[in-house]
Structure 1
């Protein structure tokens, strides 16, 4: 299962959440950024419809598969300053 982690960080004179190197908008308080990250995390976990997907592999071959809308990532929200690393997700 895929796991994604939103980190709460100081950013651009305020607070933001980030995923890898991508930042959210800047919020005035850490609490607002944390609430927004939890909202984004909750939306990541909402199942969608199953759909046929097509993709090309590194050899140039095309493949078609059925992608389950139930295959959602495990999501965590973590305070980047927390040494324990345990967040809520």
Structure 2
């Protein structure tokens, strides 16, 4: 199973969570960014057997839409 790690970091005058080289929106406090990162990490574990259409932005800024099968959800955690 794939593992992904969100990190809470200072960014753009505030705080953001980061996955790889991609930053989230900026939050005014560390606690706000941490709470949102934990929520996003929990959402990686969608219950049920049905897959879903997902949308994501790659490192070059291009958006992609694809089907994600329910059995390929990553393990996610948050640091920072």
Per the TM superposition, whether the score is higher than 0.5 is yes
Alpha-carbon RMSD across the aligned residues, in angstroms, is 1.8
Q: Which runs of 5+ in 2 are unaligned?
A: 53-67
Runs of 4+ residues deviating >6 angstroms:
none
Specify the SS of the correspondent of 2:76. strand
Is the counterpart of residue 78 in structure 1 residue 74 in structure 2? Answer: no
TM norm structure 1: 0.65
What does 1:24-43 correspond to in 2, within 5 Å? 24-43=24-43
- Relative contact order: is structure 1 or structure 2 higher (C-alpha 8 Å, sep ≥ 6)? 2
Structure in which a larger fraction of residues adopt helix: 2
Distance in 2, matches of 1:46 and 1:17, equals 20
Specify the SS of the correspondent of 1:70. helix
Deviations 1:39-73 (A, max 9, x none): 1001111145148xxxxxxxxxxxxxxx7413311
What does 1:1-89 correspond to in 2, within 5 Å? 1-47=1-47, 49-50=50-51, 68-79=69-80
TM norm structure 2: 0.72
Q: Which runs of 5+ in 1 are unaligned?
A: 52-66, 80-89
